[in-house]
Amino acid sequence: MSTFEINLNLGNVAMATREDIAVTLREIARRLESTDETGKVILDANGNTVGNWWLVFDDEDEDEDETEYEDDGQGDDAWADAQTFESAYGPEDY
């Protein structure tokens, strides 16, 4: 699965407001559109490191739509049961 992640630490003087975050997100978007960069350290207006971002493409994503699954004989009921279990207990409970 391909992923895009941003890690941004807030709290210092130059990275504390919604505007600071918005400026940073726009800069990341600009880089994604105009370069082949797949990650970078994020600096605040004072030049301090406040996080990073990265984009990882998984070549296997292209094949996911073509995957064929064998019928296990349980039909859709097994899927419904699994979803009910997870929603009732949450992943941290099992």
Q: What is the DSSP string of 28-90?
A: HHHHHHH----EEEEE-TTS-EEEEEEEE--TTHHHHTT------S-HHHHHHHHHHHHHHH-
**CA atoms 27, 28, 29, 32: torsion sign:** positive
Per-residue pLDDT, 59:
78
- Give φ, ψ of 83 to 5 degrees: -65, -40
Residuewise pLDDT in 10s, the chain (94 residues):
899 999 999 999 999 999 999 999 999 999 999 999 889 999 999 999 999 999 998 876 545 544 444 555 555 555 444 444 444 444 444 3
